[in-house]
A = this chain, B = another copy of it.
Amino acid sequence: MKLHQGMGPNSYRVRIFLKEKAIDVPMVEVDFAKGEHKAPEFLKLNSLGQIPVLELDDRAIITESVAICRYFEETHPEPPLFGSDAVSRAKVEMWNRRAELVIFATIGNVALHSDAFFKDRLTQFPAFAETERRAVPKKWAWLDRELADGRPFLAGDDFSIADITAGVCGWLGDVFGMEIPASLENVKRWNERVRSRRSWNA
């Protein structure tokens, strides 16, 4: 088994997940900056030219970071990071998707449509990036209201993949100059709780 991974938020999500599960997987570094993810050899693994990619021993391929995490959840159920019964599994799915669709996608749009790194990779619309940039603090403010009930983690009492996704959103915001607004006390407490975990250094 090999995990092809490298820079960027999606590989980071998988590395944190593996560290939380204490799973050791051989890794192949894919140099995103050198475009190794678009090389013909790599495109045979993932026709979308994206990392991470999990290559199983029988050469079966799993792409998409959450799909890779789900594979390891199945093979190493403890500690559960996708919930442990019907309601908690649905809540984790809900909060992982809310983190992705509300926060991750907005920060991602800013980066994709304004950062020099993506200039030759897609048609950038800087005005769209600016609209999205102004929306980012509002998205965190929404999460702050949602966390006002004092629960420790997004989906409830237990740390889950939803916290990994949202925590990586905070990290991604730092990278692209969109820090979490300091006035949001609930998000701040949650973020410190997540970032102080040993897995964060993954």
Contacts and interface: CB of A to CB of B under 8 A. Distances in A.
A85 interface: yes
Interface in A116-143: 123, 125, 127-128, 131, 142
Identical copies of this chain, number: 2
18 contacts: A47-B145, A48-B102, A54-B90, A60-B87, A62-B87, A62-B90, A63-B94, A63-B98, A64-B93, A64-B94, A67-B91, A67-B93, A70-B89, A71-B87, A71-B90, A74-B89, A123-B131, A125-B127
Interface of A: 47-48, 54, 56, 60, 62-64, 66-68, 70-71, 74-75, 85-87, 89-91, 93-94, 97-98, 101-102, 123, 125, 127-128, 131, 142, 145-146
Nearest to A62: B90
Contacts of A142: 47-48
Contacts of A93: 64, 66-67, 70
Main secondary structure of the interface of A (DSSP, over half): helix
A86 B67 contact: no
